Structure formats: C-alpha cells, structure tokens
Amino acid sequence: MILWRRTVPGNEKAQPLKKDERLPEEPFVSIIVPARNEERNIRRCVESLLAQDYSRFEVIVVDDGSTDATPRILDEIAATNPHKDRLYVLRLRDALPEGWAGKPHALQMGTQEARGQWFLYTDADTWHAPNALRFAITRAIEGNIDLLSLGTQQELPGFWERVMMPMAYLGISMMYPVRLVNDPHSPVAIANGQFILIRRSVYEQIGGYARPDLRSTLLDDRDLAQVVKSQHYRLQMLDGRDYVHVQMYSGLDEIWRGWRKNVFLGSRGGLAFTLLQLIGLPLVSILPFLLPLLLLLRKIFRPRSMATGTLVLVSALELLPVLGYRAWLDREVRVPWYYAFTHPLAGALFEGILAQSTWRILTRTGVDWRGRSYYTQKQPVSTEKQAVAGD
C-alpha cells in the first residue's frame, strides 16, 4: 500500500490534442538524436521524426563514431526521404574529449548546430507518433513549462524484458515520484531522456551539457532536470505513452549491462541507501514468495503443528499485496498478468545488477556501454547522501 500510494499516477496524464489544435505561432524546434551503433533502430526513429505534422522543425542526428551500418542507413534516408530537407547528419569522428561522457558530448555538439527556439532530445531507439512534437510543444507553451519530458510506452517483446521492466519501473517511480517531480516546491527532479523538450534560452542560461557537472554524467536526463529545477525553472513530466514508443534493450545481456551502468548512480540516497536497497530488495521481492514454500514444508514435516494457521495468515499478508502491486505495475507497462509470478526472479536479478554496479563504480573497475568504459580512472565518486527534502 505504501509503495502504491507513493508511485500511483497523479496529474501527469495530459489531455490529448484536439484534431486540429495548433498554436497561433509555432516556434522552430531542433530535434537532436545522438546515435552510436544504432543500425537496429535508427531508420524507424528518424523516419518517424521526419513525418511529424508540425510545420517548423529540423532533425539533427549526431552520428557518434558508429562502426556498424548506422552511417549508411542515415545516408539512405538523407537521399530518399520525402522530408530529407529537414535532416542534417553531424558526424563525430574524433576521439571523445577528456572529461566527457559520450551522450552529453553528442547532445552538446548537436545543440551547437541547432537553429531552434526549443530543443527536443530523443533517443535513437524511440519512434514517434506523427503528432508527438505538436502535442509536446503545445502543452509546454500552454503551461509555461521550461522543460517538458514525456513518459514513453515501453515495447517489451521478449521474456526478459517483461520480467525486468516492471521492477525497474518500481525502483524509478519509488525514488522519483512524478507528483513530486511536478511539484515546484519539491527538490525531486528527473526527466526521461527518451523525450526531453527544453527552451533554448533556459538551456543556454544554465550552461547546458558544457557545464562541468554535466559533461561526464551517465545520467544526462536526471542531472539536466535537477539543474533546471534547482535554478527555479518549471519542470514537468507527462504521460506520453500515446505519442512515443521505445524498445530500450533486447535480451538479458543488454538489460544487465544497460541498467548496470547507472543503477547505482541513479540512487537518490547515495551509498547508504544503496546498501539499504541491497538488504530490502530480497525482503520485498523474494521472501513473500518463499513463505508459501515454508508453509508447505511445515505441513509435510509437522502436520500437527498449531502454528500452521499463523503461518498461513502471515504468508497471505505478505504475498497478496505484492502480487496485487505487481499486477498493477504489469498493467502500467502492458505486461501479461501472470508475469507477476516472475517477481522474485526480477528481484534476484536486480539484486545482482545493483551489487555489481555499486562494486564496479566504487572500485573503479568501470562500467561499459556502446564500446566505451566509464569510471575506470581515479575520479571522485560521491557516496554521500543526497538531499531528499520534500519526500
């Protein structure tokens, strides 16, 4: 019940656009897509962006040293797409500058080429409904929002994606409840890097990703949102599942490496809270499912025990709320109800991911992503508890 009350959706469900709803004057928007070895996704993403039913925009794809078929696919789109005049491909060929992480660097390079009054950052593994941009810019301007981020519809075609994503959703929504993110009086801030719309003037005033504290971040979306909100600009998260879809990972190996790179860094409570998570995660994800097994063993080996009834009650009190909450999570991410019974498997796997992420970053063993390694050199890693006022 506590988890449900903390993570239940609030006012982030925006009214959909009316059929012909448009702004009196549409500002020019620069859509910036960082891409590194995205041959599986890039065509669908870019073509969906070029097909937006918005009048004034450009698409800047930052090809960040791709070694697969990404450059060739981008060349094909630039040569054949009906809206190719809106597309600009920026190719980064030099080594990543010292002190930068790959994605913040690609985004910063893209913004330097952008002409828009607004920037839209989106990932290469997303694809967008034709009215996604019009929806976002309309709601941002109507609400006088400086940074608007949309939650996306997660496409989960495989077994492991369906097992793991609800648990990831639980962790993120517990630490960053949307109602607090949208509360200007709360310091809690996060954005979804799959869709971030920000005013150019705000981006430039805060220093953007060229800020020393944003250059090397592996949590470019969260950290940008925190800077924006700390400078008293307006931040809002909205449910955008009708407008933007994404398939983040494919298979357990990608899921493991993808979450390993940032699950420790994304913890709001630093090292102390991470240790608490490592203790608490098995208690809320595995132990409730073990109690029925203990009950069965007790019935087999001690059939006349007077404590059996108490154990049944304790088991029900533990298991039924967990199953109910997981069923709600599954509906939110559109996973079949019976995946609730994989909850202990997801808990065990995330326990391993969190433990390995923590160990690799604190010991500078490093985490890898897209052919690059981070936290392998002696650089400061804060383990102090971050401010959580407003919870």
Could you write out the DSSP letters of every residue in 300-362? HH-TT-TTHHHHHHHHHHHHHHHHHHHHHHHHHTT--GGGGGGHHHHHHHHHHHHHHHHHHHH
Q: What is the pLDDT of residue 372?
A: 86
- Mean pLDDT, rounded, of the chain: 87
Domain 2-152+192-250 belongs to what topology? Spore Coat Polysaccharide Biosynthesis Protein SpsA; Chain A (3.90.550)
State phi, psi for 340 to the nearest 5 degrees: -60, -30
Contact assessment for residue 128 and residue 197, using Cβ atoms and an 8 Å cutoff = no
Give the pLDDT band (50/70/90) at residue 308.
low
- The H or E element containing residue 35 is strand 29-35
pLDDT-wise least confident of 107-111, 203-207, 212-216, 309-313: 309-313
Range(s) of the chain covered by CATH 3.90.550.10: 2-152+192-250
Measuring CA to CA, how many Å separate 206 from each of 35, 116, 201, 312?
Answer: 25, 17, 9, 57
pLDDT digits (tens, 9 = 90+) for 356-378: 999 999 988 888 888 888 888 65
pLDDT-wise least confident of 40-49, 52-61, 141-150, 315-324: 315-324
Dihedral through CA 217, CA 218, CA 219, CA 221, nearest 10? 80
Q: What's the token pair of residue 77?
A: 């789109």
Measuring CA to CA, how many Å separate 137 from each of 27, 114, 150, 239?
Answer: 8, 17, 11, 14
Q: What is the pLDDT of residue 165?
A: 92
Please name the residues in contact with 142: beta carbons below 8 A apart, sequence gap of 6 or more: none
pLDDT digits (tens, 9 = 90+) for 12-56: 666 777 767 778 789 999 999 999 999 999 999 999 999 999 999
Residue 233: name the closest of 150, 111, 118, 145 by CA. 145
In the numeric block, the tokens 């383990």 are attached to 383
State phi, psi for 346 to the nearest 5 degrees: -60, -40
pLDDT at 292 over 90: no
CA 216/CA 285 separation, integer angstroms: 33
Q: What is the pLDDT of residue 380?
A: 44
Q: What amino acid occupies position 298?
A: R
